Structures are given as structure tokens and as C-alpha cells.
Structure 1
Amino acid sequence: MVDNNSTWQADPNLPPGVARQVITETEDFTERAGQIISQGNLVADASTLNQQVSYVSASGNVDLGNANVTNTGMDINSILRYTCMTSGCLPHIYNPVINEYDLVGSIAPLETFDLVYQSGHVASTIEAGGTLTLGGNLVNNQTSLPISGVLITPRIDQSSVVSPGVNVSVGGLFGVASDPNSPYLITTQIPNINQNGYVGSSYLLDQLGYQLDHTILLLGDPFYETQLIEDALLKKLGTRFITPGITDANAQITQLYDNAKEQMGSLNLSVGIALTDSQQSLLTKDIVWLVQQTINGKQVLVPTVYLASSDAQLKRHCTKHRRNIKRP
């Protein structure tokens, strides 16, 4: 779901009589994107696969057979609308792409001039940690592509921070911990899931020798936090895998926590404190760091992904390829 938000902005660079209105599309993720996720292999038996702002991801191989695939993301746009209330308006218009006033717009009295630009993108992803096999045609964001060079992920958002959205009224698989002595705010409601098979934020705290204050909770048990981080990466970056050579969720999260421990001293990081812009710019490797937030009236440590600046540039602007893409 996309909503339009409109605000009026003062701009000292505009001449008298010219007003600037900002109209921005925002995406509402309360309607959860569709996901098909496998920690092993995934095989689809279909003649047609139409996917829009959704995710198909496997740690192993993905075999789509002879399906004709349409994979479509969604652009998020913004409009700078200038309105001239007097005569002779020739303002130097702000260009958000390069952060300068280099555009000249000629606006007649009581008319408007719109500058439309892309301010974000919601990805639609088909990815495989191993081999992606596709025998049919692929249409990716309305662009036909040859099978020998399958481009999997459309353009992605331009943020170097991936902070998961937390919904305490999760219901179903997860819920707020009923045990008042639980170290977690949110726990898995299905008892037969082996929490020892997943890596949670307690791993980083143990590595750091950090003793958690009894008034502060961990966001969730290891299984919940693993799912949350994967969901956040998919929604923000269009992929579950951001560490080269790693296509296993536990191995990736472990590596991101190890990277955090490695860089903690040189960047003067503190548990519970979000990284400053300066600290983010000095990151040499992607990390997961624990940032304190108030959720449901409680102080909680939330695992947050920070991308190293060089990696962030690459992940923002490149279209993802998987190692082995073949045609049957």
C-alpha cells in the first residue's frame, strides 16, 4: 500500500511569492509482503510465476523449471511542487539528487512546476545461495532479459542502516513473553523449535563479556531475532544474504556479530547506543549492533544491521547476481 504525504517547506533560496510543497509516497508494510523462504533447496512446478514486491529465497538451489517469470519491484517517488503567487517567477529550484540549487523553473503567475524524482524503491527478489535454474522467460521490472544473464533484484533503497520493524502484537508464531522472568520481550510460541539451533543477540553479549542489566530485555529469542533480521534485510535490501560466500542465516549473523566485536574498540562502540554518522562512515565491515529502544514500555536491545560504507554503495546500486545461473 502506498500513501501520499504532503508538507509545505520554507526555502530561503526561493524569491518572494514562491512556495514549495513536498509530496512523498510512503510504503505501508502493515500488509506483509509474500515470502517463500527455504534454508535448503526450492523447486517450483508452475507454468507462470508472477511476483510483485515479494520474496523467493533459498540457501541452496532454486529450480523454477520452465516457468515464465515476471518479477516486479515498485518505485517510491517524491514531488517538489513549486507554486508562483506573483508575476515573473524564475526561481533556482532545489535538485534533491545532487543537493544543489541548479535547476531553473519558469513559473507563470498562479501556476505550478513539478519536479519528480525517485526517493526509494521496494525490491522484489528471487535468489539462490547455490544455482538458480530458469528455463522460461524472465521479465524483471518490466524489462525483458536474456536467461544467460538473469538479473534478480531490482534497485534498492539507499540506507546503510537496516533497523527491523518490531510489532509486539505479532500473534501466531511469536508473542510477548508470558514469563515475567524471561530475558526476552518476544518469544516463539511453538515449543518444539530448538532455540540452540539459532544465533541471537546473547551471542554478541557473551563475546563481549557484557553483563546485561536486569531492567533491560533482549528483543527476542534466537529464532525470533533470526527471522526478524532476515525479514528486515529482505525488505530494505532485497536479499537475505549480504556477506560474500555465506548463504546460511546462522553463519551470516555470527559473522556480523564477530565483525561488530572486531570493530568495537577502534570505533568506540557502546552496547545500547546507535552508531553516529561518523562511526558508520568508518565501518570496514558490515555489523549487527544492539541498540536500546523503548518498546511496549520496556527497555529493549534491538539488533540493528549497519552496512560498511563501501558495501552500502555496492548493495545500493548493483543488481544482484547469484554465483551459478543456468538454463536447463
Structure 2
Amino acid sequence: MQAIVIERLEGPSAAVLRDVPEPQHPHHRADGHRVVVEVAAVGLSVIDVLQSRGAYQYGTPTPYVLGSEIAGTVVEADPGSGFAVGDRVGSIVFWGGLAERAVVAPDYTARIPDDMSFAEGAGVYLNYSTAWFAYHRSGVRPGGTVLVHGAAGGVGTALLDLAPAFGARAIAVVSSEAKAEVARAAGAWQVVRSDGAWKDEVLALTDGHGVDAVLDTVGGDRFTDSLRALRTGGMLVVIGFAGGSIPEVKVNRLLLRNLSVTGISMDTFDAEYPGTLRMVRDAIEVLMASGGIHPHVGEVFPFERAADAMRLIESRAAIGKVVVER
């Protein structure tokens, strides 16, 4: 079968079209349950870019098949896997997705509704499970307000889209007017610009109190002002570092205003608290079935232009989910 392969850890330019063997074994996170999906669409993310440069914490040796998230139709499923031939699914596979067929792990796979396109389905699992778990860990109550960094990206638009499910109002932080339009369409209550006095604007929008939680996919030099934008007793949720640098925090800021900072990593949390992954997966399936999820697909690339899709993500110009279709 044909696949897009990373042969060297040199970034997007290392992505090439190759003939590779069919997957012979279960997914490495599937506990022995073999589920094979005919791939229709692949969602790419910063995971793929980092991994192509050897910088992702769950990386794999080269050569490997590119593609961290897929959508398609189940063509083979072990008894006990919870899936059946013909199921329409979206799944995060970490690598191996940009191929004609891929193996998936049941705990990392969700059924997608018949009225959802495969391009949209390729933007569900990673973005929405991350967003749902961020809200869950933030402890935001109905009526609360959250601040979303990187709000026009894949996870950012999912965070905005899920705010009503948690009864929250979301303030989006974006870097351009084009991204502001995307954030508004995704459900932002208010939008502020990262190149302006966004922290002061956030405090004004909340009558000087600050937000209940900051959901941060960016990190970098805005971290301290994010803490300043929290209300007393608020929480900052570390989701990622799209800004490139990992910030540090002076803990006296936490002490004086009773602030909390937490990171989220579902798989490591599941290792300590089994059932976490299925809890999140089940919640996402319920929201999809009820029409509560509206994936924002940005640019769609053909199979042979996967490297261009990666370059778009690496340039930080991507808006919404970047998808490659077969």
C-alpha cells in the first residue's frame, strides 16, 4: 500500500511517498486488540512536526509512516475491541496514519456520526478530547469565564466550541483579524489580540476580577500575564507550547493569589487513574451524537502534498485543523 514516510528526522521536507507493507500487528497501545481502518482523511498537528524533527516525547525511530490522527471506516476488528466492520471512526494513532490502511487503539478511537464528513472526523479525537479534558481538569463551573490562547488553531477552536457544554464563556486570544473571525465563528464570547494590551482587556471584560481559568496551548512569554489575568483562586491549564518556548513560573505568584497551575496528559493520567481515556472518549461520542461538536477544518491538502501541510503547521499560519485527504 502507499504511504507518506518520514525517512530522516529533518522536518517536513523528509516526507516522501513510498510503498509500504500492510500493517500486520495491533496498534502498540491496543492491548492486543487488532482494529484496522480504511483511511479516508488524516488530521495533522504540531505532533507530526515535532516528531518529524525528533522532538516529540513519544517519538518513533525512522523510517515511519507520518500521520497522527485519522478518520475512516473499520475493515477489520477483533471480538472484544468494541468496534465492528463498517463503523465510521476517528482516532489518534500518533504515527502510521497517512496510508491506505492503519491500525488503531480502541481507547483512542471514537465513532463519528453519519452526517459528519471524514475531513471533520479527522479533527475530532485529538482536538476535542484534549479540549474536553482541559475543561474537566480546570474545574470551571457553569457561568465561569475562560481565556483561550491559540484560539484559532485546532485545539483552540475546539476549546471555544466546547465552552457551552461546560456552561462557560470563552475569551479568545488571537494574533490577527483573520484569526479573530475564525474564533468568533467557533463561538468566542469576546476576542482580544495578542499584539495588544490583551491582559488589561481581559480584566476589563471581567470587571477587574479576571477569568476563572486560562487554557493555554501557546506558552512562551505570555505565561506571566496569563497568571495576572486569572481571578483569585483561578487555574491555568498547560496544554502545549505552540509558541516554541517553555515558560517558567515564580511560585510566589501562586501563593499570594491562591492560583493553581496544572498540565494535562490523558495517557499518563490514565496509567494512574484507569478509565480516564474511556471517560473522555465516551463524553466526546455523546457530544458528537447530540450535535454538540462542530470541527473547524482549515486547509485540506491532497495526499501527495502532505509535506506542504506540515510546513503550514510549522509556520504557525494554520487556522483550524489541517487535513490531508486520500
TM-score norm. by structure 1 comes to 0.24
Q: Hey, which of these two has a bigger chunk of strand by percent? A: 1
Which structure has the bigger radius of gyration? 1
Q: Hey, which of these two has a bigger chunk of helix by percent? A: 2
TM-score norm. by structure 2 comes to 0.24
